[in-house]
């Protein structure tokens, strides 16, 4: 099949670079937050390219985009692939978008070879995978998989109170299709690893067998604002002192469960944020990850024990909410085998790997056979404007994706 259907590596790379112009940043990355005007521009370009490739395009009520290449057996569930177009505020040129445009390149390559498939092929753009504007992450694929209901998904609001429903309507991607009322024969997601393992092991392809579990929290500590000069230390109710202790504890919890635990405080808002006023309120987030649900539960217990004790000691009010829990995921054995077999047949070095990041594939695995493919990224850096991957690895991942899709489509 490699000799008759071939990935055009230059076309794939050029597509990635053209998309990267939308929301381009000064350090070579992108900022395309979910459902902003820049996200709309990226979606519009993707839809244009898909229609030029002969695809039909449908959009569901969460704004998920489905571009379909017809199969010779149209009643068969499609073999789908895809990822996301939204980015972090200081994101890179490959996170998410690589999986989307590699899927489009698969369709273009099939068209070039005039190669029919029995099952239809679909490329999917999932809305708000990152969760950087609307929490939680992967909310639209979660609605598709039945993890969240539609009302919950559309009601997610950013820090300014604007909801996903409002922004979907504003940018023209509030589709009519019901969410999740379509079956998938299989789903493959191609992605940069976002970590250093493949590069360190000098492997081209990561055969992803599963993904870590995650828990996200939002914490608000409320004390009392007071003048920084006249207020004695012993009489203060400093919310930032409490937050700093919990931040340190979050770091301790991560270090206490090696080698796989990850614990992060990535967002912190201090009020009133004045240099001569004692902070009266602090809002911050916590992100826990581990591939074993039992260890993740233990990390949860440690946080829930420490935070109230600290708040009580300092005279602070505590509001601690777990806003998201995604259990550890094991991907479909047949899809994993398709990926591994493709890498072997193409002569590409490969290894099994667990995803340290969450992906839309984690939710889709609940409703369809699912697999993932990783390629290395330079120095393991992602969620960063300097995120990078080589042309050769980008092409290799797309070749594996093509072979895995054909394995399931025919």
For residue 3, the model assigns a pLDDT of: 62
- Domains of the chain in start order, with CATH, are 9-212+328-409 (3.40.630.10), 214-326 (3.30.70.360)
Contact predicate 328/291, CB 8 Å: yes
Is residue 1 scored above 70 in pLDDT? no
CA-derived radius of gyration, the chain: 22
Give 356's pLDDT tier (boundaries 50, 70, 90): confident
For residue 358, the model assigns a pLDDT of: 87
pLDDT digits (tens, 9 = 90+) for 254-297: 999 998 899 999 999 999 999 999 999 999 999 999 999 999 99
Contact predicate 288/214, CB 8 Å: yes
Give 218's pLDDT tier (boundaries 50, 70, 90): very high
Is residue 333 scored above 70 in pLDDT? yes
Sign of CA dihedral 106, 111, 112, 117: positive
Measured CA to CA in angstroms, residue 381 lies from 6, 266, 384, 389 at distances of 29, 16, 7, 10
For residue 289, the model assigns a pLDDT of: 95
Give 53's pLDDT tier (boundaries 50, 70, 90): very high
Contact predicate 59/44, CB 8 Å: no
| pTM, rounded to two decimals | 0.85
The residue-averaged pLDDT of 18-27 equals: 98
For residue 180, the model assigns a pLDDT of: 96
For residue 26, the model assigns a pLDDT of: 95
Is residue 410 scored above 90 in pLDDT? no
HEC string of the chain equals CCCCCCCCHHHHHHHHHHHHCCCECCCCCECCCCCCHHHHHHHHHHHHHHHHCCCEEEEECCCCEEEEECCCCCCCCCEEEEECCCCCCCECCCCCHHHHHHHHHHHHHHHHCCCCCCCCEEEEECCCCCCCCCCCCCHHHHHHCCCCCHHHHHHCECCCCCEHHHHHHHHCCCCCECCCCCCCCEEEEEEECCCCHHHHHCCCEEEEEEECEEEEEEEEEECCCEECCCCCHHHCCCHHHHHHHHHHHHHHHHHCCCCCCEEECCCEEEECCCCCEECCEEEEEEEEEECCHHHHHHHHHHHHHHHHHHHHHHCCEEEEEEEEEECCEECCHHHHHHHHHHHHHCCCCEEEEEECCCCHHHHHCCCCCEEEEEECCHHHCCCCCCCCCCHHHHHHHHHHHHHHHHHHHC
What is the largest distance, in Å, between two alpha-carbon atoms of the chain? Answer: 79
Contact predicate 144/150, CB 8 Å: no
For residue 2, the model assigns a pLDDT of: 53
For residue 326, the model assigns a pLDDT of: 86
C-alpha–C-alpha distance, residues 316 and 329, integer Å: 37
For residue 51, the model assigns a pLDDT of: 98
pLDDT digits (tens, 9 = 90+) for 172-190: 999 999 999 899 999 999 9
Contact predicate 273/232, CB 8 Å: no
Pairing of β 329-330 and β 226-227: unpaired
Is residue 110 scored above 80 in pLDDT? yes
Is residue 236 scored above 60 in pLDDT? yes
- The three-state secondary structure class of 100 is helix
Environment class of 151 (CB within 10 Å of its CB; exposed 0-12, middle 13-18, buried 19+): exposed
Pairing of β 213-222 and β 281-290: antiparallel
For residue 228, the model assigns a pLDDT of: 97
Give the chain's mean pLDDT: 97
C-alpha–C-alpha distance, residues 58 and 73, integer Å: 19
pLDDT digits (tens, 9 = 90+) for 291-330: 999 999 999 999 999 999 999 999 999 999 999 898 999 9
């Amino acid at each position: 099949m490699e000799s008759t259907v071939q990935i055009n590596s230059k076309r794939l790379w050029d597509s990635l670079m053209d998309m990267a112009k939308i929301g381009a940043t000064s350090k070579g990355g992108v900022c395309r937050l979910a459902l902003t005007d820049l996200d709309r521009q990226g979606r519009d370009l993707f839809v244009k390219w898909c229609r030029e490739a002969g695809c039909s395009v449908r959009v569901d009520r969460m704004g998920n985009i489905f571009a379909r290449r017809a199969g010779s057996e149209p009643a068969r569930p499609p073999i789908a692939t895809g990822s996301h177009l939204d980015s972090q505020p200081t994101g890179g040129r490959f996170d998410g978008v690589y999986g989307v445009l590699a899927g489009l390149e698969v369709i273009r390559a099939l068209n070039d070879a005039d190669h029919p498939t029995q099952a239809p092929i679909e490329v999917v753009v999932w809305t708000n995978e990152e969760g950087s504007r609307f929490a939680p992450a992967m909310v639209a694929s979660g609605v598709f998989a039945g993890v969240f209901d539609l009302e919950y998904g559309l009601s997610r609001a950013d820090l300014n109170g604007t909801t996903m429903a409002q922004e979907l309507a504003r940018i023209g991607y509030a589709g009519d299709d019901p969410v999740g009322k379509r079956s998938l024969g299989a789903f493959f997601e191609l992605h940069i690893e976002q970590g250093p393992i493949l590069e360190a092991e000098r492997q081209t392809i990561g055969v992803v067998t599963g993904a870590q579990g995650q828990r996200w929290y939002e914490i608000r500590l409320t004390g009392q604002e007071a003048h920084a000069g006249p207020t004695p230390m012993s009489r203060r109710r400093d919310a930032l002192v409490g937050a700093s202790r919990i931040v340190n504890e979050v770091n301790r919890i991560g270090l206490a469960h090696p080698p796989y635990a990850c614990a992060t405080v990535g967002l912190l808002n201090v009020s009133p944020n004045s240099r001569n006023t004692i902070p009266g309120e602090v809002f911050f987030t916590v992100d826990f990850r581990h591939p074993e649900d039992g260890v993740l539960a233990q990390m949860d217990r440690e946080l829930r024990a420490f935070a109230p004790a600290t708040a009580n000691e300092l005279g602070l009010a505590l509001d601690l909410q777990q806003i998201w829990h995604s259990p550890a995921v094991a991907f479909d054995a047949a899809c994993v085998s398709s990926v591994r077999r493709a890498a072997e047949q193409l002569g590409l070095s490969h290894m099994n790997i667990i995803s340290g990041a969450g992906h839309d594939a984690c939710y889709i695995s609940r409703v369809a056979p699912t697999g993932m493919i990783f390629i290395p990224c330079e120095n393991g850096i992602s969620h960063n404007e300097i995120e990078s991957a080589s042309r050769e690895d980008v092409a290799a991942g797309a070749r594996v994706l093509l072979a895995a899709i054909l394995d399931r489509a025919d």
